[in-house]
Each structure stands twice: as structure tokens, then as C-alpha cells.
Amino acid sequence: MELSVVVAAREDDRPPTEVLDVAAVADRLGYPDLWIGEGPTWDAFALATAIGRSTERAALTAGPIPVSVRDPASIARGAADTEVLVGRPVGVALGTSSVRVVEGIHGRSRARAASVLADSARALRTMVGSDAPPLDPAEPPRHGFRRRLPPASGPITVAAVGDRAIAVAAEYADRMVLDLVSPEQVRTLRDKLDAAAARIGRSTPPRLAAWLPAAVDPDEASYAQILGGIAGYLTVPHQAELYTAAGFGAAVELAAEGADRDRLVAALPPAAAGVVGLVGDIETIRVRLDEYAAAGLDEAAIHPATAGDPAGEHTLAALAPSE
């Protein structure tokens, strides 16, 4: 199973530019791909460009980009711009995000999110990656403008959990990505992805990746950071069901009542961090990675805790790929 690194993901109270240090450590240690999420703080392409200009080897994946706030042309342009500026492959990840982000932060409608995801993925197949036509100097202008940059060459990834989004991934994506999932959930979603690909006659389904919070030899600060990231998702149905089944129903009920992050973190014991993550000593984590691989995961995207481990260096070094 391949290991990659999530550089920027959920919003928290860590210094915003710390992500540059995480990227530098991951690149130095030889991780092949860095995920640069988009949120209220960072524009994924701006941050990917800064990271690409300050690292040497790793390919970059920008996103998941909320498809309700960016049209396919602007996503393809951002990826192409970044790839030219950093000189390495850049891929894009697409997602539907949440009402809180799309409507609350951006003031855009999230209506028909699954349909918008399908439309965006379909369009981007002709603008990014292996299916995009190469730059041709003889290509006629479109609407008075001539294409001046080659398309980004990285993969298209679709973030999915629901059946309609999984169908989009099966048809258009090179890779599907999950977030905060247990091995049991991976197994279920792997089966759904394979079945959706088979229904449309796709012989090789997309690769399956998952963002997993990680801390090798965690301290109290590491646990608090991971639990804070989990707390914001306890109202999401599949997370609520998972944590209730794992014995943490009291925290799920608090989340449904609108409790803030501090109260939710206090209600979650340290063991809750390992339900959807890679937490513990190195041997415990290697066993957990084997469980994810056996469930059908192709790529574990490590999101290192940094509160007790500057730039996640201890965790990333312990899990680094061998040369």
C-alpha cells in the first residue's frame, strides 16, 4: 500500500504556515505525493505552488476543491498554472464539501451537489490528465483566446462516500478518496466502488485512498489535535454511526445538540482517535495499516498531528517509505 501525506486539511488553531514545514519534511523523507486541501484559510493552488517551489520531488494533489464554488475551467487552469510553475505533476481532487462551507463561507448554493460533481468530473476529464489533449500551437483560438499552457498531467480524484458520488468516481476518476474512515468502512466502500465500476464496464476501478490522521507515540497534545479534527464530523451520518457503534455515543449526542469543539474533545477519550486513524506506537500503526490494506485501501494519506510533534517529523520519519 502506498503512503502519501496530507499537508493541509481541516481548519484548526495551528499556525497557518506550518503546512509548509510539513510539506518540506514529507518531501525530504521521500513521500511520493502531497495532498493540499482547500478551505477557508488556503486556496489549494496558491498553497500548492508555494509548496512546489520549496520542495524537490513529490507530486502534488490540489483539493478536494468544492465543485459548487469553482467551475471546471478555473480548476483546470489552476492545476495547469501550478504545474508549469513548479515543474512537477499536479492533480486535482473534487468534492462537494458541506453546506457550512459552500453556502456559509462562499455564499453559493450547494443544491444538486452530486449532479454538479458529475458535471465537473466529466468536463475535467478533457482538461486534466491523460485524457486531456496536449498543447498544440496550431489549435485555433476559442472565444478569441488561444490556449498557452499544457494541461496538468496529474490524476483526477473524486472524494466520495454516498452512492451517487461513488458512481461519479467510478466513471470519471483515476482515484477515489475517503476521509476519516475505519477499515470496516473502507471494505464497504471498496465493494461499492468496484461494483459501480463493473456496472459501467470499467475493468480496472479507480484506486482507493483515504485521509487518516496519524501520530506515532502520541502525547496529550497530539491526541487533542486529532480529536479536535474528528469532533467537527460527529454530525456527519456515517461518522455518527461509526462512533456510536464504537461506544462513543455520548459525544455524538453532544454534537447533535450543538456542543462546541472543546466540549466534544473533552467527551472523547484518547481511544477515539484510533477509530479512524493511525495512532499509537509504530508496531500498532503498522498492524493498523495492514488492516486498511486488507480492506482494499490502495493509498493511506497520512495527516500527521503536529501539536506535539513539530511539522509531524517524528510520525513521518517513522512511517517513511524505504528508498
Q: Which residues contact residue 161 at a Cβ distance below 8 angstroms, ignoring those fewer than 6 apart? A: 178, 189, 238
* Amino acid residing at 203: S
Among 291, 250, 282, CA closest to 269: 250
- State the DSSP code for 323: -
Please name each of the domains of the chain with its CATH number.
2-215+281-307 (3.20.20.30), 218-274 (no CATH)
Q: Please give the pLDDT value at position 323.
A: 59
- CA 227-157-291 angle, 5° bins: 50
* Dist CA 323 CA 320 (whole Å): 9
Helices 163-172, 183-199: inter-axial angle, 10-degree rounding: 60
By residue count, the chain amounts to 323
- State the DSSP code for 157: E
* Count of helices and strands (H, E) across the chain: 13, 9
pLDDT beneath 70: ranges in the chain: 323
Among 140, 219, 249, 228, CA closest to 180: 228
Torsion of Cα atoms, 11 then 14 then 20 then 21, to 10°: -140
Q: CA separation (Å) from 91 to 153, 155, 263?
A: 7, 5, 37
Q: Please give the pLDDT value at position 130.
A: 83
23-62: buried (b, 16+ CB within 10 Å) or exposed (e) per residue?
bbbbbbbebebbbbbbbeebebbebbbbbbeebeebbbbb
Q: CA separation (Å) from 228 to 62, 161, 182?
A: 23, 21, 17
What pTM was computed for the model? 0.93
Q: Please give the pLDDT value at position 225.
A: 95
